[in-house]
Amino acid sequence: MSTKAPRDFRPALHYTPKKGWINDPNGLVYARGKYHLFAQYGPEPHWGDIHWSHAESPDLLHWRDLPNAIAPDGLGMAFSGSAVYDEENASGLGTPDNPPIIAMYTSHGEQEQQSIAYSLDGESFIKYPGNPVIHNTEKPDFRDPKVFKNPKGGWTVVLAAGDHVEFYGSEDLLHWQKTGSFGPDGNYSKGVWECPDLFPLTLGGREVWVLLVSMGACPENLGSRTQYFLGNFDGETFTCDGSFNKPEFIDSGFDNYAGVTFFGTQERVLMGWAANWVYAGDLPTGEFCGQMTLPRALSLVDTPLGGPRLSCAPVSDKLFGAPVPIDGSLPGEVFKLTVSGEGTADITLSNGGGEAFSFGVDSSGEVYIDRSRAGLRSFNADFAKPEYGRISAPRFFTGPWTLELTFDRSICELFADRGTRVFTQLLYPSEPYRHIDLAGNAKAEISLMV
């Protein structure tokens, strides 16, 4: 397999491995002043021989690679999971003066079972000799544990189990008992359930619990997407409040999957895998394959047209300088565009090779993003299909709008209407975009990377 890319498509802002493959972010945790990012990792630029890779950051934006944290063993490959900082040493695997970081992951062998590993220095991990800590001999899909502190004491883990999620409770992170489940009733999307997360947010002074479930690739969703539900968690199980009557996804674009939030942060921060299982194995990026989304702060917003909705705000603004008016040219391949307007508008980025990428608000009032003429597409038959080129979604607000686009060489993230609509898209222009054109009642500013 060739590892030569048509040109350098490696993003400058989004996390990528130096070489090899990554998919789901794992074990997102803030501990001892550092953010830790683990991920599903294979040494070749295609899926296989899955380990946990490891990187750390002081600010969620600048990452330092560390040695792989968890390797396959006799129980199987190290599939997705999560990590917590056991500050009170409930597990007894550390000391009061040096509490451990504990990672729970899926051992993917003949069965999928849950195992743990722990670290006392934040870098090297020791597998617990009593693995697996949650046994399974019956369910073909039983994976992706997300551990969090139970508001009534102790710990809870939510696991994906095919067409539903299951909840288990523990006092010491080592011994677990099932406490409840959610689904398949209440679900509106096809696809196997994966990579759940559960956390509280505040809306109008009241607590609302948000359940994320990544839905495996299916034709109805044009690949893999991440669904969310709103409701309540009573310490044992989640109950949906029925806010939605159709699938609601955290991202309206094609390329944000398996996103989960950090443990230990003051605000709720999410990162996802910026790809889609339909075509991820064929990306034209050479020696590496896969990247993460930029980190996003989550909140709930009560919208006039859609009621309560999850909102995503990029936490990467400090990477950019002050905005300046656009003059029709695009300096560089990494920038942020802020476009404000009302009614219909089209914003088009183009290059000398006849390629063009556009986004805006269409005549039906929907926000859209269109990569159908943006660049290379023939590397994968599905990526080249029209339905994977343009996508749109209705607004939850009326009147004037603001669109914020972070563009990073081969990936863009579009935030609309206070982050209640987000589109993450991969695109591969054969040469950089150098021009920008605006049509409609809109004005644009550009901010360059500092």
Reading the block at residue 198, the tokens are 């559960």
Question: Which residues share a beta bridge with 448?
Answer: 335
pTM of the predicted model over 0.95: yes
CA 67 to chain centre: 22
Average pLDDT, the chain: 97
pLDDT at 426: 98
List strands edge to edge, sheet with 177-182.
143-149, 155-160, 165-170, 177-182
Instruction: Give the long-range contacts of residues 368-376, CB within 8 A, separation 24 or more.
Output: 368/392, 368/393, 369/253, 369/412, 369/414, 369/423, 369/425, 371/425, 371/426, 371/427, 374/427, 374/428, 374/429, 375/427, 375/428, 375/429, 375/430, 376/6, 376/284, 376/428, 376/429, 376/430
DSSP letters, 369-425, are EEEEESS--TTSTTTTSGGGTEEEEE-SS-S-EEEEEEEESSEEEEEETTTTEEEEE
Instruction: Give the long-range contacts of residues 60-68, CB within 8 A, separation 24 or more.
Output: 60/35, 60/269, 60/295, 60/315, 61/13, 61/295, 61/315, 61/316, 61/318, 61/319, 63/15, 63/37, 65/17, 65/18, 66/123, 67/123, 67/124, 68/41
pLDDT range class, residue 3, cuts 50, 70, 90: low
Residue reference for tokens 């400090």: 318
Question: Which of 8, 24, 172, 251 is flagged as catalytic?
Answer: 24
What is the SS3 assignment for 263?
strand
- Residue count of the chain: 450
| C-alpha span between 155 and 145 (Å, rounded) | 12
Among the listed residues 119, 138, 141, the one whose alpha carbon sits nearest the alpha carbon of residue 128: 119
Q: What is the mean pLDDT of residues 396-425?
A: 97
Question: By the 8 A CB rule, do 334 and 393 touch?
Answer: no
Domains delineated in the chain: 20-314 (2.115.10.20), 320-448 (2.60.120.560)
| C-alpha span between 192 and 110 (Å, rounded) | 19
Angle (nearest 5°) at CA 367 between 240 and 427: 100
Query: What are 61-120's pLDDT values in tens digits?
Result: 999 999 999 999 999 999 999 999 999 999 999 999 999 999 999 999 999 999 999 999
Higher pLDDT, 379 or 316: 379
DSSP letters, 341-371, are EEEEEEEEEE-TTS-EEEEEE-TTSEEEEEE
Query: What are 336-381's pLDDT values in tens digits?
Result: 999 999 999 999 999 999 999 999 999 999 999 999 999 999 999 9
Among the listed residues 429, 447, 417, the one whose alpha carbon sits nearest the alpha carbon of residue 326: 447
Q: What is the DSSP letter of 294?
A: P
Among the listed residues 395, 393, 392, the one whose alpha carbon sits nearest the alpha carbon of residue 372: 392
Question: By the 8 A CB rule, do 394 and 374 touch?
Answer: no
pLDDT at 1: 44
Q: Identify whether 24 is a catalytic site residue.
A: yes
Question: By the 8 A CB rule, do 301 and 308 touch?
Answer: yes
Q: What is the mean pLDDT of residues 240-251?
A: 96
Query: What are 200-233's pLDDT values in tens digits?
Result: 999 999 999 999 999 999 999 999 999 999 999 9
